[in-house]
Structure 1
Amino acid sequence: MRKVQPIRDERVIEGMKDYFYNRSMRNYLFFCMGIYSGLRVSDLLKLQVMQTKGTHISLVEQKNKHAKMFIIHPSIRSDLDDFTADMHQKDYLFASRQIKTISRMRNRPIDRTTAYRILSDAAHEFKLKDIGVHSLRKTWAYRLYMDNPENLALLMDMFGHSDPRETLDYIGLTQDMMDKAILNLR
């Protein structure tokens, strides 16, 4: 399994937000919720409209059953409210437009493969490599760390890491640090 990377360049992040905004509000909000929450894609895809009505979203992570609460970023609040205005409370926020082939079910969340395709198409447009659904979570962490390296302890706690090197490697900083050190050789 290949190791995916965070999106490091803020200009690319802004470009991708614009790219999604002009194509699909669902995909735009999926991208933004991913880079502003640090949730795993499996948890993002299960979000329901009723969870987005307050200032924070509370949930229990599927993978490790930890309770999480995170603020809805103010920059997407208005778009989120407009997007969900005509939806039912129990509708999935990132609903598939298709009827499931085998079960014939409607109103199900997009699946992980669709989420990957959405991100992969945008990554191709921006000439990014090693981007996958986990890149959203890593982008969130990378941005938090770059904004303030003192956030490392917070990130270690969020990811359940006991060693700072594990967290730095997870968000792609060990490679960045190695590259920088090599380039600084005389």
Structure 2
Amino acid sequence: MNEVQPIRDKEVIIQIKNYLKVTSFRNYIFFSMGIHSGLRVSDLLQLKAGSVRDQLHINYVAQKTKNRKKKKKRKKFIIHPDIYEDLMVYISDMDDDAYLFASRQRKKLTGAIGEPIDRVTAYKMISGVAQRFGLTDIGVHSLRKTWGYHLYMDDPRNLALLMEMFGHEDIATTLLYIGNTQDSMDAAIRRLSFTQSG
């Protein structure tokens, strides 16, 4: 299985957001929150309307640490101004205990309704839209990687912040994770030349 990549082209990100906004507002909010927050998909899927309603920040316990004996990691992230108003419109008719990204279908095994979409559904949505825009090696983790990649590209001084947010132990892991190592290697190889000049 290929390692998923961030979406590097900001113009493509804008096109995807515009496309999703008119085809599925839920998927638009999901995609937008993913690329603006750096949250894992498992954390995004557990968010409820009450946790974001009229809030500037969202407090949550990372799903990855929730069931461990280790100390639970409480985290906080800002709701990005670019999506704040759309998010408030999206949740305006939701009860506080409703999942933000609820499935439109009844769960086959339990018969439950209103449960969050699962990772497979999220993956199908993200990979489907990626394919539509000619992107490869894109999956649900690409949203988090896109967030990190663009924070780093906008200002490399954000590297320490990214290490903390991702829970990485070293810079090399973070650079590899956001796909910057491959970009740097490609650029270095393009500069390498064995032809005579002039």
TM-score (norm 2): 0.92
Number of equivalenced pairs:
186
Please, which runs of 5 or more residues in structure 2 have no aligned partner?
Answer: 66-71, 194-198
Q: Does 1:50 align with 2:45?
A: no
**AA paired with 2:25?**
M
Q: Does 1:71 align with 2:74?
A: no
**AA paired with 2:61?**
V
Q: Does 1:133 align with 2:140?
A: yes
1:109-162 Cα shifts (integer Å, max 9, x gaps): 000000001101110111000000000000000010001000001111111212
Greater C-alpha radius of gyration: 2
Aligned to 2:154: 147
Aligned to 2:41: 41
Aligned to 1:25: 25
In the TM superposition, residue 2 of structure 1 has moved relative to its aligned partner by 2.4
Aligned to 1:62: 63
Task: Return the alpha-carbon distance in structure 1 between the equivalents of residues 12 and 154 of structure 2.
Answer: 17
User: Secondary structure at the residue paired with 2:76?
Assistant: strand
Q: Does 1:81 align with 2:82?
A: no
What RMSD over aligned residues (CA atoms) do the two structures have, in Å? 0.8
Match of 1:169 among 169, 176, 179: 176
In the TM superposition, residue 57 of structure 1 has moved relative to its aligned partner by 0.6
Task: Return the alpha-carbon distance in structure 1 between the equivalents of residues 171 and 159 of structure 2.
Answer: 7
Aligned to 2:103: 96
Task: Return the alpha-carbon distance in structure 2 between the equivalents of residues 32 and 184 of structure 1.
Answer: 35
Aligned to 2:196: none
Identity %: 58
Q: Does 1:10 align with 2:10?
A: yes
Task: Return the alpha-carbon distance in structure 2 between the equivalents of residues 57 and 13 of structure 1.
Answer: 23
User: Secondary structure at the residue paired with 2:95?
Assistant: coil
Match of 1:123 among 119, 126, 130: 130
Is 129-138 or 157-166 further displaced after alignment? Answer: 157-166
Is 59-68 or 148-157 further displaced after alignment? Answer: 59-68
Aligned to 1:180: 187
Which runs of structure 1 show a deviation greater than 2 angstroms over 4 or more consecutive aligned residues? none
